[in-house]
């Protein structure tokens, strides 16, 4: 077990930051599904970033690339699968090559699940949500913007696949 919370507190404390105010949701923002999943239109939400040709390496296993971060919710067609990358995310690059897009952006698996009848329809676009580490921006800006896109797509449910 990794004592993540304690390590995070110690790390930021050593840099002079006040103790982190961990997110706490006193009310649940989720609701029961309106109908069985097999009858639902599903929207895919990801934290993967659009590839930016002008930036340094963003490919599989690339070093952390803060310049590749994005700060606004976006949509992109699912077919063809968009060129999204995860170099802007802090992940274990020693043990994960991130060379299989299907592990963090399962578009083709979702098309297969739709074909198998797991759900009725996959919305034609995905929704990209930033990982900007701000609870305020996430709850007041990004989440409402993502919800508005889910509603515009007339999706019944949304699947968040964080990277």
Sorted by where each begins, the domain ranges of the chain are: 25-161
At 17 the pLDDT is 84
Contacts for 116 with CB less than 8 Å, ≥ 6 apart: none
SS3 of residue 157 by DSSP? strand
Q: Hey, what are 74's tokens?
A: 């976006």
Is residue 161 within 8 A of residue 127, CB to CB? The reply is: no
3-state percent breakdown (helix, strand, coil) of the chain, nearest 5:
30, 15, 55
The SS3 of residue 6 is helix
| The model's pTM | 0.86
Print pLDDT tens along the chain (163 aa). 677 778 878 888 888 888 777 777 777 777 788 899 999 999 999 999 999 999 999 998 899 999 999 999 999 999 999 999 999 988 888 888 888 999 889 999 999 999 999 999 999 999 999 998 788 899 899 999 999 999 999 999 999 998 8
pLDDT at 133: 77
pLDDT score recorded for residue 98 = 87
Indicate the helix (H) or strand (E) that contains 64.
none
């Amino acid at each position: 077990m990794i004592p993540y919370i304690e390590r995070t507190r110690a790390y930021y404390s050593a840099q002079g930051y006040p103790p982190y105010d961990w997110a706490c949701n006193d009310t649940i923002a989720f609701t029961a599904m309106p109908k069985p999943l097999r009858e639902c239109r599903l929207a895919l939400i990801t934290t993967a970033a659009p590839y930016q040709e002008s930036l340094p390496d963003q490919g599989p296993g690339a070093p952390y690339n803060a310049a590749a971060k994005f700060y606004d919710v976006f949509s992109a067609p699912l077919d063809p699968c968009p060129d999204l990358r995860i170099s802007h995310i802090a992940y274990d690059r020693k043990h994960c090559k991130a060379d299989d897009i299907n592990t963090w952006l399962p578009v083709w698996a979702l098309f297969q699940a739709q074909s198998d009848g797991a759900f009725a329809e996959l919305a034609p676009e995905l929704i990209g949500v930033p990982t900007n580490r701000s609870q305020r921006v996430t709850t007041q800006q990004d989440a409402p913007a993502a919800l508005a896109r889910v509603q515009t797509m007339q999706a019944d449910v949304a699947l968040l696949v964080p990277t």
